[in-house]
Amino acid sequence: MNKVVAGPDAALDGLQDNMTLMVGGFGLCGIPENLIAALVRRGTKGLTCISNNAGVDDFGLGLLLKTRQIRKMISSYVGENDEFERQMLSGELEVELIPQGSLAERCRAGGAGIPAFFTPAGYGTEVGEGKEAREFNGKMHVLESWLRADFALVKAWKGDRFGNLVYKRTARNFNPMMAMAGKITIAEVEQLVEPGELDPDLIHTPGIFVQRIFQGSAYEKRIEQRTVRKRA
Amino acid sequence: MGLTKEQMAKRIARELRDGYYVNLGIGIPTLVANYIPEGMNVVLQSENGILGMGPFPYEGEEDADLINAGKQTVTLLPGSSIFDSATSFAMIRGQHVQLTVLGAMEVSDNGDIANWKIPGKMVKGMGGAMDLVASADNIIVCMMHANKAGESKLLKQCSLPLTGVGCVKKVVTDLGVFDITPDGFKLLERAPGVSVEEIKAKTEGRLAVQGEIPEMVV
């Protein structure tokens, strides 16, 4: 079993125009930097991107917005990106905003083979419009469907050639669910280790969900809001 | 005059109870963490995947892999845990979080809240707010009583797209503390130096005033 590929460009083999991608990360934390850069080089267009956020103007998915490679974004929060806002308001970019918990669960459901589920989030709002609603325990819920993707691009801290992954701190976020929901899931990791080096009890994403893996390089890990306190 | 942001945070901190798991929204709600009473055990949940969130790091100790839901660098306290977004919202939807504090653009007197979109102007998205307000038993909204144009944010009916319906239980503004009741916004406390008349004048929604309204101790 060897899922290791040469690098980010080789990893994207088969990714075509108009496909649907999931891209892990929360803000710029835990995003697959190497794969996003390779997507820019590849120039694939008409993409539908499912990702909690849309990056910033010059980093993360913002890079793919700048090159107009994204046709549609499915996200929960897109606040920090002027180019995004411009493309959305001008109608160049299609945007579907969905509650963050529903986004996470829809990805999980996609990976777990559950086509739909009821959640209270969004009932009585624009998000619930046109969706089946049903009462459970005296409370209204809306039916949300699974999300699945042609490719899921995730970032982990450590991984092995079986595709087992361990994430670091809050860089975990959406990566585990998206890894489950990709037809082809590509993991870029900071450290590619030998099978057996990762403690089986502590693996976050079991390798069965991952089809391709490589060790990324030159991680920038940009911080959006650098907040600190003074030493006493 | 009304309360400062810090005083609003301090007042909300009095709603905390020992053993609570609490989710604090971005903005003034975040400041509540600075006023957790000494000796009280409160665990802060951040919906991007932390239980036991600590203060900002010391300069030079920032970790790009450790942020809160506002994308700010933070630290972890002993006993903290990290998890994925689906697990995080299982905690929220499953009502394992005892208190949610969040900001709003508008609240109506039946507990509707709007805080994610101004059509044609601002569309940033709801983030986790819709999941939080739809599920939490105990939701406190913390906001200024009026917007920058001086218009009341405590309304009969929200004019902006809703985040949730009939979900807000309590509102803390710079002018007072209100419970949402079948009679509308029930005034519980006034900010120091703020009269009931001023609050009446600045509240567009139904306001219930019963008996003497005590001045808040801040």
pLDDT tens digits for B186-207?
999 999 999 999 999 999 999 9
What pLDDT shows up at residue B217? 87
Q: Do B56 and A105 touch (CB under 8 A)?
A: no
pLDDT of residue A86: 87
Nearest residue, CB atoms, B86 vs list A77, A105, A222: A105
Poorest-pLDDT segment among A68-77, A88-97, B57-66, B139-148 = A88-97
| Residue numbers of A between 81 and 120 with CB closer than 8 Å to B | 85, 88-89, 95, 97, 99-105, 107-108, 119-120
Q: At what angle do helices A100-112 and B85-93 cross, to 10 degrees?
A: 120
Average pLDDT value over all residues in chain A: 96
What pLDDT does A221 receive?
97
**What value does the mean pLDDT take over residues A166-195?**
98
pLDDT value of residue B216 = 94
CA dihedral for B61, B18, B169, B95, sign (positive or negative)? positive
Residue B47 appears among annotated catalytic residues: yes
**pLDDT exceeds 80 at position B183:** yes
- Write out the H or E segment, with its range, that includes residue A84: helix A82-89
Over residues A228-232, mean pLDDT: 88
- CB under 8 A, 24+ apart: contacts of B194-202: B194/B1, B194/B2, B199/B145, B199/B175, B202/B145, B202/B146, B202/B152, B202/B154, B202/B175
Q: What's the pLDDT score for residue B121? A: 79
Task: Give me the count of residues in chain A.
Answer: 232
| Contact assignment for A225 to B72 by CB distance below 8 Å | yes
Which residue, chain included where needed, has tokens 């499953």? B94
Radius of gyration of chain A (CA): 18
pLDDT value, residue B218: 82
Task: With a cut of 80, say whether residue B107 has pLDDT above it.
Answer: yes
Model confidence at B137, pLDDT cuts 50, 70, 90, reads: confident
State residue B186's pLDDT score: 98
Tell me: the pLDDT tens digits for A28-39? 999 999 999 999
pLDDT for position B9: 96
- CB within 8 Å: B49 and A105: no
- Give residue A83's pLDDT: 87
Q: What value does the mean pLDDT take over residues A190-197?
A: 98
Q: Which residues of B touch A127 (CB under 8 A)?
A: 126, 130
Q: What is the pLDDT of residue A50?
A: 98
Residue B120 predicted with pLDDT over 90: no
Catalytic residue among B38, B47, B106, B198: B47
pLDDT at A79: 79
- Asked if the Cβ–Cβ distance from B135 to A121 is below 8 Å, we say yes
Q: In 3D, which of A12, A22, A26, A43 has the Cα closest to residue A173? A: A26
- pTM, two decimals, is 0.96
For the CA atoms of B12, B13, B16, B18, the dihedral, rounded to the nearest 10 degrees, stands at: 180
> Contact B127/A100, CB-based, under 8 Å?
yes
Secondary structure letter of residue A4 according to DSSP:
B
Predicted confidence (pLDDT) at residue A89 exceeds the cutoff of 90: no
Residues in chain B with CB shorter than 8 Å from the CB of A76 are 125-128
Question: What is the ipTM, given to two decimal places?
Answer: 0.97
**Three-state secondary structure readout of A10-69:** HHCCCCCCCCEEEECCECCECCCHHHHHHHHHHCCCCEEEECCCCCECCECCHHHHHCCC
Amino acid at A60: G
**Residue B124, pLDDT score:** 86
Predicted confidence at residue B161, as pLDDT, reads 96
| pLDDT higher than threshold 90 for residue B96 | yes
Does residue B105 surpass a pLDDT of 80?
yes
Indicate whether A181 pLDDT > 80: yes
CB contact under 8 A, A228 and B129: no
- Taking the CA of residue B37 and the nearest CA in chain A, the distance in Å comes to 20
Tokens of B106: 């508008």
Query: A125 and B164: CB-CB below 8 Å?
Result: yes
> How many C-beta atoms surround the C-beta of residue B7 within 10 A?
18
Q: Which residues of A touch B159 (CB under 8 A)?
A: none
Query: Contacts of residue B50 in chain A, CB cutoff 8 Å?
Result: 170
| For range A14-27, the mean pLDDT | 98
Q: Tell me, yes or no, if A126 comes closer than 8 A to chain B by beta carbon.
A: yes
Nearest CA among B23, B13, B19 for reference residue B131 = B23
SS3 of B7-59: the string is: HHHHHHHCCCCCCCEEEECCCHHHHHHHHCCCCCCCEEEECCCEEEEECCCEC
Between the alpha carbon of residue B86 and those of residues A178, A212, B116, the distances in Å are 10, 23, 21
Q: Which residues of B188-212 are buried (b: 16+ CB within 10 A; e: fewer)?
A: bbbbeebeeebbeebbbbbbeeeee
Segment 172-191 of chain A within 8 Å of chain B by CB? 172-177
Q: What is the mean pLDDT of residues B102-130?
A: 92
What residues of chain A lie within 8 A of the CB of B163, using their CB?
125
pLDDT at A85: 85
Tens of pLDDT, residue by residue over B20-31, are: 999 999 889 999
Question: Does residue B218 or residue B62 have the better pLDDT?
Answer: B62
Residue scoring higher pLDDT (A85 or B12): B12
Give yes or no for residue B61 having a pLDDT over 90. Answer: yes
Percentage of chain A modeled with pLDDT above 70: 100
Q: How far apart are CA A10 and CA A214, in angstroms?
A: 10
SS3 call for A210: coil
Percent of chain A with pLDDT over 90: 93
Kind and range of the H or E element at A135?
Answer: strand A133-136
What pLDDT is stored for residue B122 in this prediction? 74
